[in-house]
Structure 1
Amino acid sequence: MSLPAAEQVRAAGAVLATEASRFSGYGWMRGTAGNLSLVIDRDPLVLAVTASGLEKSELTDRDVVLIDGGGRSIDPTDPRPPSAEAGLHAHIAARTGAGAVFHVHAFDAVVAGHRWPEGVAIRDMEMLKGIGHRAHDETVVIPVIDNHQDMTVEAARFDEVYVPATDDVPEVPALIVANHGMYAWGEDAAAARRHLEIAEWLLRFQVATR
């Protein structure tokens, strides 16, 4: 597999560093927690994902690792490991067609997953428009899966709850991993950020009012 151009990887790293700094400011990526990825190539699938063990508020454009569709590092000259959840990032990108996948440890998402382990149902909220759904007369469920250290297990659990978009109903571009955190994705970094921020707001409302 040929590697993407260094300039392309650095550009992806700069985007992810900016997003990580933003989410760290929200308290969603404390210390080394969380990981973010961007799709660089689709065939074969190649993602830039934040490197493991780094303070997320201090990332630079060099702090990404290239992975394949199985979450494995593909650059033999780079000894750094990708984030532990890299395999799930790659699976979500492949399964949904997303161009960016963001994983954070937002507190209210963890609480919501604990409180509603079968999924968090949300209805009649104006903010649902921000994740592509109707503000009224539709119940949107953000799915919850159990946490596991093996990303092949997590990928299978994702497939069990993921509902692809149809002509009538868009997908729900967010997922809670119980006792862990949440994922959101979109066609690019801006869409993934929007979906993440809006899903977190909706979950925070549910936790505060139920």
Structure 2
Amino acid sequence: MTADVGALDLKEAGTVLAAEAARFAAFGWMRGTSGNLSVVLSRDPLRLAVTASGHDKGELGPDDVVLVDGRGAAVRGGRPSAEAELHARVAALTGAGAVVHVHTVASVAMGRREPGGIVFRDLEMLKGVGQPAHGVEVTLPVVANSQDMTELGDRLAAARDPRMPAVVVAGHGLYVWGADPRQARHHTEVVEWLLELTLAEG
């Protein structure tokens, strides 16, 4: 939606995240109240707008967002997602301006099939995550799930590949990031396409 994420205020961020959530919900990637999105509002100190907990992601409005700090704790607004701490960790670790967490069937299925990581090669869609279409192998890491966000963040930090702006959390879903909400959305759509193709090929 905007490249200059630092210029957003909380309500503007809520409008952006509501639109992005509605798109993902329409794909069936945020069923029920699952999934969460965030956008970085400032770096020093780190502050993120995160979708509020317990809301249908296809029906969010501009106020359904919470301002959180670098530990994922609420600074202003209601109750953030339980995974807000992981969003903050990803933003700090990768320099991302936006983080997407969706619960897709393909990510869970492929995480079970390939617990050591999902390898992609010789696919034109790899260009969508900044990689060559041919001649290289790119691995999407898979990490074990945990309800402890600090532990899960440690696993993500240890496993992530800088060439792939995404990680599968086994039995849970997909975390993807980008410089801003638009790039994070594009990365999410590309990674999900790669997962769906690989799953279909068996």
- TM class, shorter-length: over 0.9
The answer to which of 66-75 and 43-52 deviates more is 66-75
Kindly report which structure 2 residues correspond to 1:90-169, keeping only aligned pairs within 5 A, or say none: 90-164=88-162
Structure-2 separation of matches of 1:162 and 1:110: 17
Query: Deviations along 1:1-45, whole A, 9 cap, x unmatched?
Result: xxxxxx711110000000100000000001100000000001010
- 1:126-156 deviation line (CA, Å, top 9, x unaligned): 0000000010011010000011101000110
Structure 1: how far apart are the matches of 2:55 and 2:157? 29
Identity rate, percent: 53
**Which secondary structure state, in structure 2, belongs to the residue aligned with residue 13 of structure 1?**
helix
CA distance in 2, matches of 1:22, 1:55: 12
Task: Give the Cα separation in 1 of the matches to 2:117 and 2:62.
Answer: 36
| Residue of structure 2 in register with 1:3 after alignment | none
Match of 2:178 in 1: 186
Matches within 5 A, 1:8-157: 8-75=9-76, 78=77, 80-157=78-155
* Deviant stretches of 4+, over 3 Å: none
Amino acid aligned to 2:118: V
* Contact 2:37–2:51 (CA under 8 A) maintained in structure 1: yes
Letter in 2 for 1:49: V
Give the corresponding residue for 1:195: 187
Aligned mates of 1:181, 1:60 — CA distance in 2: 24
Task: Summarize deviations over 1:44-88 as a string: whole Å, max 9, x none.
Answer: 10000000000111000100001111111112xx3x210011011
Structure 2, unpaired ranges of 5+: 1-7
Distance 1:144 1:18 in 2: 28
1:75-118 CA-partner distances (Å, limit 9, x unpaired): 2xx3x210011011000000000000000001101101010000
C-alpha RMSD of matched pairs (Å): 0.9
Q: TM-score, normalised by structure 2?
A: 0.95
Amino acid at match of 1:157: R
Cα offset, 1:163, TM superposition? 3.0
Partner of 1:74, secondary structure, is strand
